[in-house]
A = this chain, B = another copy of it.
């Protein structure tokens, strides 16, 4: 049976600590919704917040919904904004940083990265 929901109705996980700042993560479609292969998550990073600078053995497929910021990856800092897509290959170091207005994006990972 098809499932429809709104991202605003999903309870966020707040990620704010040593390695990340002001990040809201929502799992929209994952194993709990019956997804067999990959997981769709919604992220909001508030003004000047950031995700961890890390790497892992799975890829990210990202689409930027609102706002702007930067992807830091392998020594480069790449501006990203609404309407952009981002592919981060498995094993590549990466960090997402929000600009003044914050940034929202969809980030899809394989189920085994969950």
User: CB within 8 Å of B: which residues of A?
Assistant: 1-8, 28-29, 33-38, 40, 42, 59, 61, 63, 65, 71, 73-74, 76, 78, 80, 83-90, 92, 94, 106, 108, 110
B2 lies within 8 A of A92 (CB): yes
A4 lies within 8 A of B83 (CB): no
Copy count, this protein chain: 2
Which of A59, A71, A78 has most B Cβ within 10 Å? A59
Among B3, B84, B89, the residue within 8 A (CB) of A87 is B3
B89 lies within 8 A of A28 (CB): no
In the complex with contacts A37-B59, A61-B35, A61-B40, A2-B87 CB distance below 8 A: yes
